[in-house]
A = this chain, B = another copy of it.
């Protein structure tokens, strides 16, 4: 019966992976929108204070099983990717 159990767990994992993918991309779209607003305002896109606030809210809601340090590490990678996305848009805007 263990292989059936394993297959069921793997199917759940694939489902969660695809939901994560959807949310990461949705997050990317929101960050791009924020970049456009900031571009119009002439404000710097990278805002370390806001990044710290986001992390604090995330960590305050972390009930595990992952440690805060692990969650912080993963989110920093997600933040970094989103910032690169804004920078790509900025470069394209300059080339127009």
Q: Are A62 and B30 CB-contacts (below 8 A) given A50-B10, A77-B77?
A: no
Q: A29 touches which one: B54, B58, B65, B75 (CB < 8 A)?
A: B65
Contacts of A20 in B (CB 8 A): 20, 23-24, 27, 75, 78
Interface residues on A, range: 35 or more
Evaluate contact between A12 and B30: CB separation under 8 angstroms. yes
Give the B-binding residues of A (Cβ under 8 A).
Answer: 2, 5-6, 9-10, 12-14, 16-21, 23-34, 37-38, 40-41, 50, 54, 57-58, 61-66, 70-71, 73-75, 77-78, 81, 84-85
| Contact residues in B for A34 (Cβ distance below 8 Å) | 6, 9-10, 13
